[in-house]
Structure 1
Amino acid sequence: MTRATRNGLVTVLTWVLVLVFFFPVFWMVLNGFKPEAVASSAHPKLFFTPSTEGYRLAMDRGMQGYLINSVTASVTATIIVVVLAIPAAYALSIRRVKNVEGALTFFISTRFMPLAAVVLPLFMILKTLGLLDNVYVLAVIYAGVNLPVAVWMMRSFFLEVPFEIIEACRVDGAGLGREIFRVALPLVLPGVASAALITFIFSWNEYFLATLLTSSAARTTPPFLGSFVDGRGQFLAVLSAASTIAALPVILAGWVAQKQLVRGLSMGAIK
């Protein structure tokens, strides 16, 4: 088999895999524009008369408020994570603290325990303090859940900064703040953008905590989407329309930050 044949087969296989993984998303968007009777039919139809009834019904059920809660919780959590992860990652990479391995192990070990094991004590604490159904408390919890991953990611990016640059700025008399934010941070900004985007996506898609720690005032979009499936039916057209709306912010965020994301995820691949 020649190289051209192998490359052609790899290209065809890649496109097949892309289409297989993309088809459910395409079908979801398509169902959002179908009338409910057509979307729920046992015989799927590719050609139909488009309708925006699903989007109207989704908004009539108050989706706008859930979207605002999701944006508030996700953006707040992302800001908290970035603010805390940058100095933590810098201390664990360039300005080495004592027992770095132990600190890194502690950070990542917090992700080993399943959320189901901690949600009950967390629920009781928040209930005692009167902090249940609070979107900013939910954002702080999201930040705590995602902070270890962000620290590990940013540390790997800071490790790629040539130490000679850090030594040069220290010789010039730069303080710690300038050393971090004026010298090292601009060099790893793509990596910081990658960690921030991943934190935002994880927070936006989180379902378990948002369902158990909120009821109405702070409920986010994922539990709202689950409410479309009940004993009366699945309401597939409305659910597809609502899911399409819910996916748009993440898609737009990824599209805006795609250059930084690709650069950040590829940092360190080639020395």
Structure 2
Amino acid sequence: MSSLTAAPVSAGPTGDRVLRRARRRNTALGLLAWVVGLVFVAPALWMVLTSFHSEPDAATNPPSLGAPLTFASYREFFAGRGGASPWPPLINSLWASLASTLLVLVLALPAAYALSIRRVRKWTDVMFFFLSTKMLPVVAGLLPVFLFARNTGLLDNIWLLVILYTSMNLPIAVWMMQSFLADVPVAVIEAAQIDGARLPAILTRVIAPMAGPGIAATALICFIFSWNELLFARVLTGVVAQTAPVFLTSFVTSQGLFLAQLCAASVVISLPVLAAGFAAQDKLVQGLSLGAVK
């Protein structure tokens, strides 16, 4: 029998140089990652800091980091600056986002089932059709939608936004959930069918629990897209169905830009999305990583 053994990598001067070079490279990459992260986070941190400044301090150029902190902007925001209460827009955004996300999940789950597990004929053409619906610029469909809403009396109606957000997010949801459901074992579904389970029971009791992280990731992304949508909401709503992003535009007036109040409003309006992200961050990471490693 041969007594040859592999020499350790770190043996000798050459191995030490390789380890030192690897450590320096990892340290440099770590520092680069921190710098990139701070660059992306810095605007959000600056927005939060500015929201605690008074309007004169927020408007100074260059900005003052050591300005006194105050809650005046938040008090004015919740009190309803200029007689406009922030609560109706916040409730409208929450209702439109939650209702459209629920409708998207109800429609996308059977569609993804038919495209991944019980594949229909020419399912790749169907997937391309869903993708092609996102190729049209949103602004290109703005005028037809506006004319339709005006002729049907749906202007300034929150249900119109629910329908629009559902149609806008449905292709993305089908694409995401199709990849998630493709990892569900077919044997489990066949066993449920042998036990007499019908399609609604299979979708809700078998597939939904197994693909829970993927469904949660899809729901969170659809909720964020609906919450942040501005163009359609700005054109199709007025007072009754005004959403939170549209309400933010009221802080830019002919009298000037109320920067501190705008930052305070932006922080408050961003909190629901941040809270949803933190609450479902484990599901989001797990769902987005499904199928990444085969």
Q: TM-score range by the shorter chain?
A: over 0.9
- Which has the bigger relative contact order, CA under 8 A and spacing at least 6? 1
Q: Does 1:97 pair with 2:116? A: no
Of 247, 250, 271 in structure 2, the residue corresponding to residue 248 of structure 1 is 271
- TM-score norm. by structure 2 comes to 0.89
Q: Does 1:154 pair with 2:173? A: no
- Secondary structure class of the residue paired with 2:48: helix
- Report the equivalent of 1:265: 288
Question: What code does the residue aligned with 1:243 have?
Answer: S
Of 133, 142, 149 in structure 2, the residue corresponding to residue 110 of structure 1 is 133
- Report the equivalent of 1:77: 100
Of 55, 67, 73 in structure 2, the residue corresponding to residue 36 of structure 1 is 55
Deviation at 1:268, TM superposition (A): 0.8
Question: What code does the residue aligned with 2:97 have?
Answer: S
Deviation at 1:164, TM superposition (A): 2.0
Deviation at 1:165, TM superposition (A): 1.8
Runs of 4+ in 1 over 4 A off after TM superposition: none
Say whether the 8 Å CA contact 1:76–1:136 is kept in structure 2.
no
- Secondary structure class of the residue paired with 1:50: coil
Deviation at 1:169, TM superposition (A): 2.2
Deviation at 1:231, TM superposition (A): 2.5
Pairs aligned (count): 271
Deviation at 1:179, TM superposition (A): 2.0
Say whether the 8 Å CA contact 1:76–1:139 is kept in structure 2.
yes
- Report the equivalent of 1:187: 210
Structure 2: any 5+ residue segments left out of the alignment? 1-19
- Report the equivalent of 2:44: 25
Give the distance between the partners of 1:83 and 1:176, measured in 2 at CA. 13
Give the distance between the partners of 1:210 and 1:184, measured in 2 at CA. 35
Of 195, 198, 210 in structure 1, the residue corresponding to residue 221 of structure 2 is 198
- Report the equivalent of 1:8: 27
Alignment root-mean-square deviation, CA: 1.2
Deviation at 1:162, TM superposition (A): 1.7
Give the distance between the partners of 2:75 and 2:88, measured in 1 at CA. 14
Choose 1 or 2 for highest CA Rg. Answer: 2
- Report the equivalent of 1:214: 237
Give the distance between the partners of 1:247 and 1:106, measured in 2 at CA. 33
Greater Cα shift, 123-132 or 249-258 = 123-132
Of 109, 123, 130 in structure 1, the residue corresponding to residue 153 of structure 2 is 130
Give the distance between the partners of 2:197 and 2:72, measured in 1 at CA. 60
Deviation at 1:7, TM superposition (A): 1.0
The alignment-based identity, stated in percent, is 47
Say whether the 8 Å CA contact 1:54–1:237 is kept in structure 2.
yes
Say whether the 8 Å CA contact 1:206–1:222 is kept in structure 2.
yes
